[in-house]
């Protein structure tokens, strides 16, 4: 038996029954990472000794009769989430040597649950990108075909899960950065409702959009991880102080009587024919299961990308001002530098092209004379997009659509054309602008052998409904989802 091929819930059952130890599982993962990671560059940091120590502690807890859904299970963390004593680079030169003195809230919850943390995964620099190509440490490669991107910005986490280099992982989603790489890599990716999971310890890109969520091998695991990390945190002023349900309990609810909306704006020009076919096949499964499929309209969708690419860079311009070479991180100093020159040289050398592009765009849209014309207008459009969803969810329970307009593309194909890459976020940014939950679940493979994801969007705090619908699709799809051969 190869434990690295198992899901979180399968491993948890074996660990609870003492048919395998956490140390044995962890050693299998460490060995597989050593063999496979050089081929795909999913991990930036592997903390072997720490993981083995955590596995030993988990085995001791299991020996004392303790049980838990994550106890002894090896997981990976996107390198934008702070981990005490372990480098947190955000995929950037400017933080390549930064070691946080504290754990993020989600890491605290993992440790309380007894999870084993294997290491930190690669990402687009400061989560800015859709392909994991903007990482200072080199691109991650798609495990299904290493000539292709894994998506981004959580491409390292998605690739690690798809390649069986961890049982599950955490990513962050600002405009689709969990759901799009999950689609490209053939795994499950869940972006929770804004405020459902604490952002304490998440290095900020765009604070009103960022949200941490799970990337897993199946829907059951996504529900388990969400239950573990969700909940109120007084250190995060946007954290919701409401009870957290057991998301795994509702998975078998079925879809009979569920109303599924099909937005016409998500099935128009620019959508790959193969993606459209697989998504419609998945929607047909929901209909066969007793769901009612209803055509709906989200009329302001066409303005979503423009709104997002004003709001997100504007917030990034403010959030990334702290990286100045004074307080922490990389510093570039020339012999005759004064303070201002040191700032300039540090930020010029420490940030990559995509980060500098977005900082400059955000600074421009927030500047005097342009704030009302751009940023304020984008916020008004954001409100209209939220109202579109509010009206839609007055009629339907779940909205079904593609996670991305195409399957994964070749590494290097869009680096010189950032606008083309931005268009790949067209179906995911709306959920972040509206603050609603979304999940990508594998719907099948393209003719070229690349995964395609179905995206399901829910009303605020509607994770239970989208998980149930995703679980039904996963259980009933006929398309084979092959394991990558690496």
Active site residues: 78, 153, 177
Task: Select from 405, 395, 469, 407 the least CA-distant residue to 437.
Answer: 469
Cβ burial of 448 (10 Å; 0-12, 13-18, 19+) is exposed
Dist. CA 434–CA 450, nearest whole Å? 30
Q: List CB contacts of 485: < 8 A, sequence separation 6 or more.
A: none
DSSP 66-133: ---SSTT-EEEEETTB-BTTB---TT-GGGTT---SS--HHHHHHHHHTPEEEEEE--SGGG--SSS-
Cα gap 125→182, rounded to integer Å: 18
If we measure between CA atoms, which residue out of 429, 424, 405 comes closest to residue 414? 424
Comparing CA positions, the residue from 269, 293, 298 lying closest to residue 282 is: 293
CA distances from 173 to 107, 308, 485 (A): 17, 13, 28
Q: What are phi and psi of 323, to 5 degrees?
A: -90, 90
Alpha carbons 88 and 378: distance in angstroms, whole number: 32
Q: Where are the beta strands (DSSP E) in 338-481?
A: 398-402, 438-445, 451-458
Residue 458: CB atoms within 10 Å: 26
Closest by CA to 26, choosing from 102, 103, 114, 112, is: 114
Query: Using an 8 Å Cβ cutoff, are 156 and 79 in contact?
Result: yes
What is the 8-class DSSP label of residue 171?
Answer: E
* DSSP H or E segment with residue 43: strand 43-46
- Asked whether 107 and 70 are in contact (CB, 8 A), the reply is no
The residues near 482 (Cβ < 8 Å, ≥ 6 apart) are 144, 445
For residues 382 and 430, give the distance between their C-alpha atoms in angstroms, rounded to a whole number.
Answer: 8
* Integer CA distances (angstroms), 401 to 19, 87, 237, 261, 427, in order: 41, 37, 32, 9, 8
- Where residue 192 falls (left for φ over 0; alpha for ψ -120 to 50; beta otherwise) is beta
Other residues' Cβ atoms within 10 Å of the Cβ of residue 413 = 16
- Rounded-to-integer distance, Cα 114 and Cα 116, Å: 7
């Amino acid at each position: 038996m190869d434990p690295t091929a198992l899901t979180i819930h399968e491993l948890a059952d074996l660990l609870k029954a003492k048919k395998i130890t956490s140390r044995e599982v962890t050693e299998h993962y460490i060995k597989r990472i050593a063999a496979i990671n050089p081929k795909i560059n999913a991990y930036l940091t592997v903390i072997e000794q720490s993981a083995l120590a955590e596995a030993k502690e988990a085995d001791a807890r299991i020996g004392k009769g303790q049980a838990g859904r994550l106890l002894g299970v090896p997981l990976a963390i996107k390198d934008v989430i702070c981990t005490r004593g372990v480098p947190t680079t955000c995929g950037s030169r400017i933080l390549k040597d930064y070691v946080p003195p504290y754990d993020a809230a989600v890491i605290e919850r993992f440790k309380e649950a007894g999870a084993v943390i294997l290491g930190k995964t690669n990402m687009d620099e400061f989560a800015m990108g859709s392909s994991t190509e903007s990482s200072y440490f080199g691109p991650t490669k798609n495990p299904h075909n290493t000539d292709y991107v894994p998506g981004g910005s959580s491409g390292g986490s998605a690739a690690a899960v798809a390649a069986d280099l961890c049982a599950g992982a955490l990513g962050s989603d600002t405009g689709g950065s969990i759901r799009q790489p999950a689609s490209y890599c053939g795994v499950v990716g869940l972006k929770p409702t804004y405020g459902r999971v604490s952002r304490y310890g998440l290095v900020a890109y765009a604070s009103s959009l960022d949200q941490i969520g799970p990337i897993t091998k199946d829907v059951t695991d996504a529900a388990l991880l969400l239950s573990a990390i969700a909940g109120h945190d007084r250190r995060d002023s946007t954290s919701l102080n409401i009870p957290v349900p057991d998301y795994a309990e509702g998975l078998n609810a079925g879809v009979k009587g569920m109303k599924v909306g099909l937005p016409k704006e998500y099935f128009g020009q620019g959508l790959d024919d193969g993606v459209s076919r697989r998504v419609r096949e998945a929607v047909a499964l929901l209909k066969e299961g007793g769901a009612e499929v209803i055509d709906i309209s989200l009329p302001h969708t066409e303005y979503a990308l423009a709104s997002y690419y004003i709001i997100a860079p504007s917030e990034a311009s403010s959030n990334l001002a702290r990286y100045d070479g004074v307080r922490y991180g990389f510093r570039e100093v020339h012999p005759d530098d004064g303070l201002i020159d040191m700032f300039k040289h540090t930020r010029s050398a420490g940030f990559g092209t995509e980060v500098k592009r977005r900082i400059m765009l955000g600074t421009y849209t927030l500047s005097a004379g342009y704030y009302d014309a751009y940023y304020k207008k984008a916020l008004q459009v954001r409100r209209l997009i939220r109202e579109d969803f509010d009206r839609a969810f007055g009629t339907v329970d779940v909205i079904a659509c593609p996670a991305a307009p195409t399957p994964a593309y070749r590494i290097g194909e869009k680096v010189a054309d950032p606008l083309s890459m931005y268009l790949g976020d067209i179906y995911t940014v709306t959920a972040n602008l509206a603050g609603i939950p979304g999940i990508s679940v594998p719907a099948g493979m393209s003719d070229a052998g690349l995964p395609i994801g179905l995206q399901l969007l829910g009303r605020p705090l509607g994770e239970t409904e989208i998980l149930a619908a995703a679980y039904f699709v996963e259980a009933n799809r006929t398309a084979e989802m092959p394991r990558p051969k690496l």
